[in-house]
Structure 1
């Protein structure tokens, strides 16, 4: 879209009582200081926004004279179609005009907003406006016309390993999410890796403390030989134990039978001395001869049976005594002591064999701890690599975007990023001319830089507007900008002169 200023009228605007300006392809505004040259150039921004050319609120009220009303109007041509906009101020009340028709503020602002963005227009109209904005706003405005490189293009310019890694990850997550995921994992794995290293070290120290000094096979052979000797001796002691136990049992039985014999002798004597009662033990009636004889026979029968039992016990005891006489007590104390000595020799061997088992078990724990440590380190290194790849991606993206932006300019350079101490890139925005930042440029250099910058914005936004160059006396020459040119120049001793010139 092309915007052309056709004409402009000022009535009681600051120092100007009544002026009409007819614009040409180039309009020269000359005159001495304080003649109101810059005021004339503030009219377009005042008509559109009620501000000066830098976007600050503007009070148009005359100071050197009295006036009831201030009124300005601007005739535009937009892509060949004319539009008249104006505003008046009377008793602090603003009236808006669209094509000379009084309009409400909202209606007027809607017309202006449909034409162009405020910051964009002021940046194109006044080369000093863009650098006056906050750097983030400057950066945002310029980059909205220069899209970031697509991921595919950035990956093509990265090392193969990093490119392949990010290419797979970017199918599932955004770059920022990838960074968050692996930054969190890196923090977690850092702590986990330290703990894993500590555990592996502790287990290795424990392993070293119980490291066997003799081979397991040798220990088993030596222990087996001792065990064989012990078992051979135990065969002897076990056999002796059986014999000795039998002797003890026989002695116990014989002593018991001898004791029973003495008791039987006493019982026999009492039986012999037993008198037959002449009367019945129950009814106390005297017994008859037959009964007495029967009682005597019963006593003799008991004596006979007693003798038989006694003789049978004597025979049994003699048999046991004969069996005992054939046995000999075996002394195995020497063998038992020998077994104890062999066991004392065998115990440390068994402990060493058990140590081998503990060593093997602990060694397995060490191997598992080392595997966990390696796995943690692998995860940590993977996240570090991915984070480095993300950083490299952003650096390459910034580089490619910077190249895109830089390609728009002929003499200016634009810095979009600055590298921090940790290697990360931080957004910034700095316009430079011959490596000097804009804020340090001379007036002439600032005009040239501002014109080149606004031309880039004009080309990228596809919006052509008039441009106003103030203090043009400070510069000998500059490249013709895109769009109408309005030049304000100080001429000592000259009254205000406005002259529009069209190309022949």
Structure 2
């Protein structure tokens, strides 16, 4: 176990104490009236180690004041301590000083800053070396925990307190908890691969979803019940029989209608009409074949030239877009070039700012060599900026020339394409005219004698067909009316029959919902059972953990969990001394002794013993036993000056 003892502490001009030297023993008492400097001793020790006072403040008044409350300047403020670390003696010292300088043009020195010097065994160290030595010696927070009986309960965050206690005692595993209670045997299987925390999240989410669904199911059953249709007085078998009889009547009427539509005379006339139309087509095809071939060839030529025209149009559009884009780039480069020109002119006029020769803080002129360096740096930066400006200007000009060459090439290509465009359009116009002439030749075929005679024969057949159809249309219409009436009856009967199918679907839906409700209710009950096991587990774990932690202490105990109104458990960390909670009227003596009990457990855990400072020691008649070195700060109104007893 590492043992740290404070052997001697020396103060010089520290918080009003001009000079003080204290030799410490295993049990040292320091007496003094209020404001006599007892707390200053502890402040000096913590400042020496951690740059903070005993209240953990970094900015506190170190300097000595006169009777009017003004700082007495040009004093060194020094704290030195001799420590024993596992029997090896070491000296630490820190000196805080004012830095005075005489500015140019002024007769008297001025306070410009402060500096701190660090020493280990009278060897001067850099700040980071000194702080590194202290941190290796003892962690700052751990030092406060094992040297101040009130720090753990009054300044240490409760979550950190709780974590520290678990670290001292060792956490309780889930396996330990389950093994401690036979009623928790089923919990492992219920948890599966999940932790208690993850399983709780999962259970709560599943319960929430199940509750929503179980609350919704009665509404869905009610909707399905309302959706069932009234079938009072209806029979599926009777409805099907009626539909069969009526549809049979409809089929008879449809057959009669077909006979009327496809009468014998009409069939013969339709055959004659088809033969004549075929002959007309053959006459027309024979006489048009050559012209048709020429017309197809001409159409292909027109299609090819139109494709060529489309390609040329696309090229012209592309040339135009590219020319406009390159001209835009030229305009942008020219604006950039103009801007660079103005920047070049501005750089030529830049001069070193004379105000920079004077320190903005103290208003004193910098030394000549520093001013010379500043001017040289300014001139070098100015030259580099001008050089970079000129380089950018040359690059811009070169890019403008390249763009203008590309624009000229594109404009030439565009002119050539427009010329080709004009030639293709002329060719397409000529081909269109030739196509029109060929189409006129096709029409002339229909004026031939053979074609006209056959056309007259076709018109005569069509006239006979119209006369024949007129006589059968009325009969067909009457039959269709009867068919429509019967079909309406069938539709009504089928609508009634469909009600039974709809009701079957709703009954099936209701049954499915009721089965789902039973299934989800069972699932919900299983989750409730699992939740009960987890709550029982948590309570068992709380008891085991508290028992394990409290076994490490003689006088204090800890409450690490509190039960909510709804039965849930919240983490906490409440210290209890002789049955009285720390924050519920515990007197100062009990607070200090309780703190010493905690320090004893902490020092045993971290294997480090350090001096314990007990402020307001006069309120404690008897301290519990501790292996730590004790420094008692005792209020004694009769001691106007500090008195030390070892």
Match of 1:190 among 182, 204, 211: 211
- Classify the secondary structure of the residue corresponding to 2:609: coil
CA deviation after TM superposition for structure 1 residue 101, in Å: 1.8
Q: How do 1:357-436 and structure 2 match up within 5 A?
A: 363-433=507-577, 434-436=579-581
CA deviation after TM superposition for structure 1 residue 183, in Å: 1.9
Match of 2:194 among 153, 170, 173: 173
CA deviation after TM superposition for structure 1 residue 358, in Å: 7.7
Q: How do 1:269-288 and structure 2 match up within 5 A?
A: none
Per-residue CA deviations over 1:159-178 (Å, capped at 9, x if unaligned) read: 53x5423x135452222222
Q: Determine whether 1:140 maps to 2:163.
A: yes
* 2:598 aligned partner: 453
* 1:49 aligned partner: 50
* 1:2 aligned partner: 3
Distance in 1 between residues matched to 2:164 and 2:129, nearest whole Å: 26
Distance in 2 between residues matched to 1:154 and 1:461, nearest whole Å: 27
Q: How do 1:293-308 and structure 2 match up within 5 A?
A: none
- Classify the secondary structure of the residue corresponding to 1:144: helix
Larger Rg: 1
Give the direction of change, closer, same or farther, for the CA distance of 1:470–1:439 in structure 2 (3 Å limit).
farther
Per-residue CA deviations over 1:446-491 (Å, capped at 9, x if unaligned) read: 2222222222222222221111112211121121223101112223
Q: Which moved more, 1:59-68 or 1:404-413?
A: 59-68
* 1:243 aligned partner: none
Distance in 2 between residues matched to 1:473 and 1:440, nearest whole Å: 19
Match of 2:85 among 78, 82, 85: 78
Distance in 2 between residues matched to 1:378 and 1:9, nearest whole Å: 77
5+ residue gaps, structure 2, are 99-113, 242-494
Per-residue CA deviations over 1:306-347 (Å, capped at 9, x if unaligned) read: xxxxxxxxxxxxxxxxxxxxxxxxxxxxxxxxxxxxxxxxxx
Give the direction of change, closer, same or farther, for the CA distance of 1:6–1:171 in structure 2 (3 Å limit).
farther
User: Are the equivalent residues in 1 in contact too, given 2:582–2:591 (CA < 8 A)?
Assistant: no
5+ residue gaps, structure 1, are 228-350
Q: Determine whether 1:105 maps to 2:127.
A: yes
CA deviation after TM superposition for structure 1 residue 360, in Å: 6.8
CA deviation after TM superposition for structure 1 residue 210, in Å: 7.9
Match of 2:64 among 54, 62, 65: 62
Per-residue CA deviations over 1:356-400 (Å, capped at 9, x if unaligned) read: 988776554433222211222223333333334333333322222
Give the direction of change, closer, same or farther, for the CA distance of 1:404–1:201 in structure 2 (3 Å limit).
farther
- Classify the secondary structure of the residue corresponding to 1:440: coil
Q: How do 1:144-293 and structure 2 match up within 5 A?
A: 144-158=167-181, 160=183, 162-165=184-187, 167-168=188-189, 170-200=191-221, 203=224
- Classify the secondary structure of the residue corresponding to 2:124: strand
- Classify the secondary structure of the residue corresponding to 1:11: strand
Distance in 2 between residues matched to 1:170 and 1:182, nearest whole Å: 10
Give the direction of change, closer, same or farther, for the CA distance of 1:470–1:389 in structure 2 (3 Å limit).
same
User: Are the equivalent residues in 2 in contact too, given 1:53–1:129 (CA < 8 A)?
Assistant: no
* 2:96 aligned partner: 89
Give the direction of change, closer, same or farther, for the CA distance of 1:476–1:211 in structure 2 (3 Å limit).
farther
User: Are the equivalent residues in 1 in contact too, given 2:574–2:581 (CA < 8 A)?
Assistant: no
Flag the structure with higher helix content.
2
How many residues get paired? 377
**TM-score, scaled to structure 2:** 0.52
* 1:347 aligned partner: none
User: Are the equivalent residues in 2 in contact too, given 1:11–1:71 (CA < 8 A)?
Assistant: yes
- Classify the secondary structure of the residue corresponding to 1:34: coil
* 1:30 aligned partner: 31
User: Are the equivalent residues in 2 in contact too, given 1:212–1:356 (CA < 8 A)?
Assistant: no
User: Are the equivalent residues in 2 in contact too, given 1:458–1:482 (CA < 8 A)?
Assistant: no
RMSD: 3.7
* 1:294 aligned partner: none
- Classify the secondary structure of the residue corresponding to 1:156: helix
User: Are the equivalent residues in 2 in contact too, given 1:54–1:126 (CA < 8 A)?
Assistant: no
Distance in 2 between residues matched to 1:180 and 1:200, nearest whole Å: 31
Give the direction of change, closer, same or farther, for the CA distance of 1:107–1:372 in structure 2 (3 Å limit).
same
Distance in 2 between residues matched to 1:74 and 1:211, nearest whole Å: 104
Distance in 2 between residues matched to 1:413 and 1:204, nearest whole Å: 64
Give the direction of change, closer, same or farther, for the CA distance of 1:439–1:61 in structure 2 (3 Å limit).
farther
Q: How do 1:110-121 and structure 2 match up within 5 A?
A: 110-121=132-143
Distance in 1 between residues matched to 2:39 and 2:563, nearest whole Å: 41
Distance in 1 between residues matched to 2:192 and 2:89, nearest whole Å: 52
Distance in 1 between residues matched to 2:606 and 2:136, nearest whole Å: 14
User: Are the equivalent residues in 1 in contact too, given 2:169–2:552 (CA < 8 A)?
Assistant: no
User: Are the equivalent residues in 1 in contact too, given 2:190–2:530 (CA < 8 A)?
Assistant: no
Distance in 2 between residues matched to 1:54 and 1:126, nearest whole Å: 11
**TM-score, scaled to structure 1:** 0.65
Distance in 1 between residues matched to 2:62 and 2:584, nearest whole Å: 29
Distance in 2 between residues matched to 1:212 and 1:479, nearest whole Å: 94
CA deviation after TM superposition for structure 1 residue 106, in Å: 1.8
Give the direction of change, closer, same or farther, for the CA distance of 1:427–1:211 in structure 2 (3 Å limit).
farther
- Classify the secondary structure of the residue corresponding to 2:576: strand
Match of 2:637 among 489, 492, 495: 492
